[in-house]
Amino acid sequence: MYVCLCRGITEKQVVKKITAGVNSVAELQQTLGAGVECGKCCDYMQEMLRAAALETVAALLVEKRSVDD
């Protein structure tokens, strides 16, 4: 699915950058060029970043729980 129609940036490309450590819309704009034309995709990229952060926190909590048991 396309995240940024203006630049043809896909969800897969954004996820790859987030997985590599990009953690802000500004960094996604710099590294991919997404969100620099009309900006309509910035909200969705922010949602993707939040979801990735929540997944990371959840994984850490599961890991901590298994160590504590």
pLDDT in tens, 1-58: 999 999 999 999 999 999 999 999 999 999 999 999 999 999 999 999 999 999 988 8
Query: Given pLDDT bands bounded at 50, 70 and 90, which one contains residue 69?
Result: low
pTM for the predicted model, two decimal places? 0.85
Full domain range(s) for residue 40: 2-68
Angle at 2 between CA 46 and CA 37, to 5 degrees: 65
Tell me the CATH number at 27.
1.10.10.1100
CA 4 to chain CA mean position, Å: 13
pLDDT of residue 28: 98
What domain count does the chain have? 1
